[in-house]
Amino acid sequence: MNNQELSLYNSVERVLTRWWIVVALMVVGGLIGWSVHFFLLPVYEAKAIITINMDFTKRDLTQFEEDTAFNAASAIITSPSVMNIVIADAQVKGYSINPSGFLRDFYIEGKQSVWELRVRDRDQNAAAALTNIWAQESTDALNGALTHALQADQILAQVAGLENCLAGVAPQVGAPQLDCKGLSQDALQAMLKDQNAALVIEKGSSLGIISIMTFTLTGLAVVPETPVLYEQGRLVLAGAFIGLLVSIWVVNSLKVSRHV
């Protein structure tokens, strides 16, 4: 009875002594996975590039503020509002796409100030067209948010000027001048309230983008000539792993059969 009990040590020892069976079956499994790849429909990937720069001569940022601004740009590119615009534009141009397809086939990869937008599709022309639609709509959305950030800076300067008027102090050197002569305290307070309300709106509409940023679509997608190979590697690895499991079963089955 004890001789029939499973021994992990003995099982591993049998596998190691018949290593050639393990290697052979892993190779066979990998070859089967490699062969299966040729029966699958090809998938193509296109890439567009958006460059994001910051003019640090206008404003100093901490590393946290810089990272937050870049993350805000990424959030806009992948936002539901941009996704819906891309889907609508694509459908008008004859490409069938839905939210689940956007989340599955659209990718973004940040490399410092360069953002790569990638789209995968079984139609190579569709991959390039959808990538360019996404890149253009993303650039427009980023520049739209930048416009609100610039407007927020202008309003902020007006707020500072009104606060100086209310406090009866002169503006700092280089600060915008605000002519508040003849304005009562009540009028200044009302103007300040309106400007603060407008500031809140513009900051919200900027979506975390700051005024020293610039966004440029520096690389349009071209039609890919060859399909991506990510499926092939995964299939080969899966086949080799299955071959490993089968080889372990075969080696131990041979030992049991020989014992019987």
Q: Tens digits of per-residue pLDDT, 125-179?
A: 999 999 999 999 999 999 999 999 999 999 998 888 888 888 776 655 555 566 6
Residue 106: HSE in the Cβ half-sphere, 13 Å Cα cutoff: 25
pLDDT of res. 255: 58
pLDDT of res. 260: 44
pLDDT of res. 4: 46
pLDDT of res. 209: 95
Q: Angle formed by the axes of helices 230-259 and 8-17, to 10°?
A: 110
Quote the tokens at residue 206.
């900027």
**Bridge partner list, 51:** 114, 216
pLDDT of res. 229: 63
Question: Shortest CA distance to 221 belongs to which of 82, 37, 45?
Answer: 45
pLDDT of res. 92: 93
Quote the tokens at residue 105.
């086939």
pLDDT of res. 89: 95
- pLDDT tens-place values along the chain, 260 residues long: 444 445 666 777 776 777 777 788 888 888 887 777 677 778 899 999 999 999 888 888 888 888 899 999 999 999 999 999 999 999 999 998 889 989 889 999 987 789 999 999 999 999 999 999 999 999 999 999 999 999 999 999 888 888 888 877 665 555 556 667 777 888 888 989 999 999 999 999 999 999 999 999 999 999 998 888 656 777 788 888 888 888 878 777 765 444 44
pLDDT of res. 25: 82
pLDDT of res. 81: 95
166 close to 192: Cβ distance less than 8 angstroms = yes
**Bridge partner list, 82:** none
Q: What share of the chain is helix, strand, coil (3-state, %, to 5)?
A: 65, 10, 25
pLDDT of res. 96: 87
